[in-house]
């Protein structure tokens, strides 16, 4: 009998040790995750939170009557919330709130449940959970609940109310949220000033990215760029995050039509983390800018080398660099006939985004194959890309190719020969593209589709010096000659 009692006692003690150890491991993983979050190492933090969720779930599922079951439920929901899985986080949080004997556990479950409801946009439910916690005797929980109530108001568009609520929270995040709310209200200087006071502290990339984008899109790009300067000098910001901040600032400067500052920021991103995706993205963005100014084939050679080097970096920027390098290879290949020349010019215009080079290559088609059926088409395409030369190019096309179906259709005349020419070109373009693809993988052939006089605008035959400017074609006119089909990259 004594042996049996001893065995039962040992089993109880062993069981207690098992779920105590499991809970200890879950809390250890959660603490590590919180530290990684504070350091800005979000991907590593998510891994720890996911592991903590598994450990905590095993405790409350296998030992539902244990003294740690409520804590395990709370930690399970908290960990799932931290990795953004609110659908799975809400059930354990709701159960923890319902069954908890400890007031602190119940309040924390309500607070986390309210945050989860905010994240899924259930504002009324979120408020019902958060308002009681905002009056808690525990200052920390009250402050966090007030932060989320402020976020609810801002999300509903009640910016002034949100600012007032956020002012009642001691959380550092609340100050950044207030800065963002002032920016949304249009007081850019005030919002940027509040944000500036926070640039030296803990860093959460997503929050800063949203604020900087809002500031830049509302005419405060110079203010946003100054904040970026302050952030990249903060030791709490990892190197990869610094490069992403700089690359994004370059994108905003490009959107503000300041390509000089954009180029500078992209170069800084590359220097900060040359092996990162952000650094490679900066190199690709600079390549795109350089391609816009290319006028001759010889200018492509150094850019092709840069694209080939960037293609080894990995990630989305490397894929883009590979496409650019392949397209440059296709453009540099000598064409055998007028159709291949058209394909080369289209690739320069569409795949490389090099309008000046595209115009030169379209003109080259007419010079080298002046008797081709498609020579006037090439001149019209060149005119669309070169407004300064558009008048002279169209006069030349009119004088030399007056009887061409392309010229008659351009003048608004109905000519069945135009449809025949376009059908033959469509077939020839497909054959030429297949030949090119056999040598240069990854460059898409022209796609068949509706055709217009010019791409992107129509141009009348008697156009003057500003002939290259936008002109909307009249819908009642007959079918128009196409300049060339737009490339779409795979």
Task: Write the CB contacts of 371 (distance below 8 Å, at least 6 apart in sequence).
Answer: none
pLDDT at 485: 36
pLDDT tens, 413-427?
A: 777 777 777 777 777
Give the CA distances from residue 354 to residues 30, 185, 205, 282, 298, in Å, rounded to whole numbers and listed in that order.
Answer: 52, 40, 34, 18, 13
pTM of the full structure: 0.67
pLDDT at 183: 97
- Residue 127: inside a domain: no
pLDDT at 420: 74
pLDDT at 65: 66
Query: 366 and 300 in one domain?
Result: no
Confidence category of residue 431, pLDDT binned at 50, 70, 90? low
Query: 254 and 188 in one domain?
Result: no
CA atoms within 13 A on the CB side of 320: 15
Query: 447 and 376 in one domain?
Result: yes
pLDDT at 23: 79
Last residue of a domain, one of 286, 303, 332: 332
The two three-digit tokens of residue 66, written as one number:
């244990």
Residue 336 and residue 338: Cα distance in Å, rounded? 7
Confidence category of residue 88, pLDDT binned at 50, 70, 90? very high
Contact (Cβ atoms closer than 8 angstroms) between residue 56 and residue 48: no
> Three-class SS of residue 49?
helix
What's the angle, vertex CA 133, arms to CA 128 and CA 135, rounded to 5? Answer: 115
Cβ-based neighbour number of residue 289 at 10 Å: 15
Mean pLDDT of all residues in 377-395: 92
- 235 or 140: which leads in pLDDT: 140
pLDDT at 19: 57
Of 53-57, 291-295, 374-378, 392-396, the poorest mean pLDDT is in 53-57
**Residues 54-72: b if buried by 16+ CB within 10 A, e if exposed:** ebbbbbbeebeebebbbbb
pLDDT tens, 117-175?
A: 999 999 999 999 999 999 999 999 999 999 999 999 999 999 999 999 999 999 999 99
H or E, element range at 312:
none
Residue percentage of the chain with pLDDT more than 70: 82
Burial category of 400 from C-beta neighbours within 10 Å (exposed 0-12, middle 13-18, buried 19 and up)? middle
Last residue of a domain, one of 237, 257, 278: 237
Query: 353 and 328 in one domain?
Result: no
pLDDT at 489: 38
pLDDT tens, 324-364?
A: 999 999 999 999 999 999 999 999 999 999 999 999 999 99
pLDDT tens, 25-46?
A: 888 888 888 888 877 778 888 8
Confidence category of residue 317, pLDDT binned at 50, 70, 90? confident
- Residue 219: inside a domain: yes
Last residue of a domain, one of 285, 300, 332: 332
DSSP for 410-478, please give it. Answer: HTT---HHHHHHHHHHHHHHHHHHHHHHHHSTT-PPPPP----SSSSS---TT--TTTTS--PPPTTSP
Of 66-70, 298-302, 393-397, the poorest mean pLDDT is in 66-70
- Residue 198: inside a domain: yes
- Residue 150: inside a domain: no
Report CA 448 to chain centroid distance, whole Å. Answer: 30
pLDDT tens, 48-59?
A: 988 888 888 888
Query: What is the DSSP secondary structure assignment for residue 256, as one 8-state letter?
Result: T
Domain count, the chain: 3
The two three-digit tokens of residue 59, written as one number:
């405790």
- Residue 394: inside a domain: yes
pLDDT at 20: 59
- 432 or 447: which leads in pLDDT: 432
Confidence category of residue 101, pLDDT binned at 50, 70, 90? confident
pLDDT at 159: 96
Confidence category of residue 209, pLDDT binned at 50, 70, 90? very high
Query: 341 and 490 in one domain?
Result: yes
Query: 312 and 175 in one domain?
Result: no
Query: 282 and 193 in one domain?
Result: no
Query: 323 and 375 in one domain?
Result: no
pLDDT at 287: 92
- Residue 137: inside a domain: no
- Residue 88: inside a domain: no
Q: Which domain holds residue 391?
A: 336-490
pLDDT at 435: 52
Query: 274 and 396 in one domain?
Result: no
């Amino acid at each position: 009998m004594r042996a049996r009692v001893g065995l039962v006692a040992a089993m109880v003690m062993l069981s207690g040790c098992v779920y105590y150890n499991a809970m200890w491991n879950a809390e250890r993983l959660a603490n590590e995750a919180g530290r990684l979050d504070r350091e800005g190492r979000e991907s590593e933090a998510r891994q720890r939170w996911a592991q903590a969720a598994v450990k905590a779930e095993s405790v409350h599922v296998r030992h539902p009557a244990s003294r740690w079951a409520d804590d395990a439920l709370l930690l399970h929901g908290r960990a799932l919330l931290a990795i953004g899985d609110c659908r799975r986080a809400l059930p354990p949080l709701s159960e923890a709130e319902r069954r908890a004997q400890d007031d602190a556990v119940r309040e924390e479950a309500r607070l986390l449940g309210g945050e989860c409801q905010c994240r899924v946009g259930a504002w009324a439910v979120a408020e019902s959970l958060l308002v009681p916690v905002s009056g808690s005797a525990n200052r920390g929980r009250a402050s966090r609940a007030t932060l989320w109530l402020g976020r609810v108001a801002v999300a509903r568009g009640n910016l002034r109310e949100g600012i007032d609520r956020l002012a009642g929270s001691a959380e550092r995040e609340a100050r950044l949220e207030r800065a963002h709310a002032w920016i949304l209200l249009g007081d850019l200087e005030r919002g940027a000033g509040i944000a500036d006071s926070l640039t030296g502290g803990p860093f959460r990339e997503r929050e800063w990215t949203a604020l900087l984008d809002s500031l830049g899109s509302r005419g405060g790009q110079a203010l946003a760029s100054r904040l970026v300067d302050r952030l990249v000098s903060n030791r709490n910001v990892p190197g990869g995050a610094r490069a992403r901040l700089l690359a994004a600032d370059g994108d905003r400067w490009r959107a503000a039509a300041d390509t000089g500052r954009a180029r500078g920021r992209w170069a800084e991103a590359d220097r900060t983390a040359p092996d990162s995706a952000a650094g490679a993205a900066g190199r690709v963005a600079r390549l795109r800018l350089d391609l816009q100014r290319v006028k001759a084939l010889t200018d492509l050679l150094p850019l092709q080398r840069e694209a080939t080097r960037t293609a080894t970096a990995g990630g989305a920027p490397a894929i883009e660099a590979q496409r650019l390098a392949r397209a440059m290879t296709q453009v540099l290949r000598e064409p055998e006939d007028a159709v291949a020349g058209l394909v080369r010019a289209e690739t320069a215009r569409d795949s490389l985004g090099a309008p000046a080079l595209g115009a030169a290559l379209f003109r080259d088609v007419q010079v080298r194959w002046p008797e081709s059926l498609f020579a006037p088409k090439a001149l019209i395409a060149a005119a669309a890309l070169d407004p300064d030369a558009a008048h002279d190019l169209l006069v030349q096309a009119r004088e030399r190719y007056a009887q061409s179906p392309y010229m008659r259709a351009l003048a608004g005349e109905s000519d069945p020969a135009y449809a025949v020419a376009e059908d033959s070109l469509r077939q020839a373009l497909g054959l030429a593209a297949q030949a090119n693809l056999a040598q240069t993988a990854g460059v898409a052939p022209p796609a068949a589709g509706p055709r217009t006089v010019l791409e992107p605008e129509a141009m009348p035959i008697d156009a003057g010096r500003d002939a290259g400017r936008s002109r909307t074609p009249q819908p009642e006119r007959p079918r128009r000659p196409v300049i060339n089909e737009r490339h779409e990259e795979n």
